[in-house]
Amino acid sequence: MPSSTTRRQFVARSAGVSLAALLPQGVFSDSSVAQSVVVRPVSEIGTVRPEMHSHFAEHLGSCVYGGLWVGKGSRIPNVNGYRKAAVDYLKELGIPVLRWPGGCYADNYHWRDGIGPVEKRPKRVNANWNNAMEDGSFGLHEFIGLCRLIGAEPYLSVNVGSGTAQEALDWIEYCNFPKGTTLSDERIANGAPEPFQVQYWGVGNEAWGCGGNMTPDHYADVYRQFATYMKSFGGTRSFLVACGPSGNNTQWTKGFFDRMQGTRVSLGAFAMHYYENGSLAPTAYNADAMNRQLTTFQLVEQAIVAQRAQIDAYNRQPRVGLILDEWGVWDRLNGPEQQRYGQLWQQSTMRSAVAAGLGLNIFNRHAEKLFMCNIAQIANVLQSVLLTDGPQGEHCIRTTTYHAFALFKAHRSKMAVKVENAATGPLDLSVSASKSGVELIVSLVNPKADTDVRVECSLDGKTAKSASARILHHKDLNAANTFESPDTIVPVAHPVQAAGSSIRLDLPALSVATVAVQLG
């Protein structure tokens, strides 16, 4: 069966099923194609770990200061210094894991600078990011407090580039040792009687770049040294994450794992960074530039497959997890917004939502290969889910990326199942599915700027008793939620037809949709 037909052919074949009649007037253009996909509810891939929907917060621009944290005395509504609107929105979305304090900043940061009475904390220069003054007022206790408020597991990135193994070991002891040692008693004196129970520990960040400009051999030796001392305390197992490659750099992975052969030091996961770079300013894209950027996701998918295979070939036990520690669209950033709102502040548009959907679909389709994925970053930096109008600004809005993540939330903890989709081009309809009991969740992304898709999705012989859908869509790829108009693009209910062992829906150009199907 051809994977695509013209709209006229599809309508004729659909024998009287007029989906167009269900759609709001004017939503669908004449340049549409039909697309058949098959979801196989019994072909299991792996669990969609909620951790694949995780986030990252760095001391950079207005991500932390002025974004998540406004301080206790602020006129901006806050909960003990945390921006109230941000807390509310993040709680609603659900943040499985939050990585902190960097990024590049992590290899500059000495954790003791962020504990104890705020007025006594040293003032430092954030040398990675604009030489910003860092007063340490958002430190470890404030970070753990935020995680507790929003229900996130903390993930601490340890300073390897300019720190020591002793400093790393002390940080774990301070966090996780119950009581009775000088460090654990210091934590208690600082107001935290219970251990923080931090599981995730990143051993450096981008060791091949801002984290020390190391060779893979050298980093592996440093990793071995740090991992020897980064112990577990108080019943919380320290899960250690090594720096993986930039993109699909297999030489880095080979160099690291070759050098790790024969060692028994703990290695929980290996973390790749893969940004989807773009050539234009966030709200000034054209279709060509968007297509070039979105095409990168095909390379991300290849990287996940290649890195997973490369790691598995070393057969380390237990299996080393693959983490996509930083990902997201990184547009051309300059100009007044950086001055006004903070470094790497980036508007999230309909294009960004499509990008988020493409990424999240890939993670579902490779669920058995991935341990965690952290989009960069959670607020005001790159592809963030929240934007505020600068450090002093009262506005806090949910971006299109926030809403794309919300549409994928239903997949969390479900079993990803196989989808057969004959259209495999990087800009073709992208589909993923997951299942739990009789509930089947199907996510579809139409990344094309000007082609609507009429989808017939076969359920491989299973019957759809009912189906409902929500969609995020705007016909302008540069449209965005702004401070003046924060709900320009939000998910809305969308027509879908449960037709025996198929579901049918129309996806306008530039859309992200999730369908919940009750199987018979």
Q: Which residues bind ligand AHR (CB under 6 A)?
A: 58, 102-104, 205-206, 326, 376-377, 382
Between the CA of residue 140 and those of 112, 171, 193, 357, what are the distances in Å? Answer: 9, 10, 14, 32
Q: Between 58 and 153, whose beta carbon lies closer to ligand AHR? A: 58
Cα 419 from Cα 474, distance rounded (Å): 26
Q: Quick one: 174 or 341, whose CB is closer to ligand AHR? A: 341
Select 382 or 507, whichever has its Cβ closest to ligand AHR: 382
How far is CA 43 from its chain centroid?
A: 26
58, 134, 142, 206: the active-site residue: 206
- Which residue, 143 or 174, is less far from ligand AHR as judged by CB? 143
Interior/surface letters 130-139, b for 16+ CB within 10 angstroms, e for the rest:
eebebebbbb
- Which tokens is 196 given? 């923080």
Minimum distance between the CB of residue 210 and ligand AHR, rounded to whole angstroms? 6
| Alpha helices (H) along 392-478 | 400-408
* Rounded Cα–Cα distance for residues 167 and 375 (Å): 27
**CB 143, min distance to ligand AHR, A:** 16
Query: 219: closest CA among 207, 231, 228, 211?
Result: 207
Nearest-approach distance from CB 327 to ligand AHR, in angstroms: 10
Comparison of 105 and 171: residue with beta carbon closer to ligand AHR: 105
326 tagged catalytic: yes
Q: Which residues contact 73 (CB under 8 A, 6 or more apart)?
A: none
Q: What is the DSSP string of 381-410?
A: SSS-SEEESSTT---EEE-HHHHHHHHHGG
368 noted as active-site residue: no
Q: Which has the closest alpha carbon to 200: 364, 372, 369?
A: 372
User: What are the C-alpha distances in Å from 370 to residues 307, 309, 318, 320, 337?
Assistant: 10, 12, 14, 10, 35
Q: Which is nearer to ligand AHR, 216 or 447 (CB)?
A: 216
CB 144 within 8 Å of CB 196: yes
CA distance 455 to 470: 15
The minimum distance between CB 98 and ligand AHR, in angstroms, equals 14
- In 3D, which of 470, 450, 454 has the Cα closest to residue 502? 454
Residue count (the chain): 520
- Strands (DSSP E) contained in 97-177 are 97-100, 124-126, 132-134, 153-158
CB of 378 to ligand AHR, least distance (A): 11
Residue 392 CA to residue 188 CA, distance in Å, equals 33
Catalytic residues: 206, 326
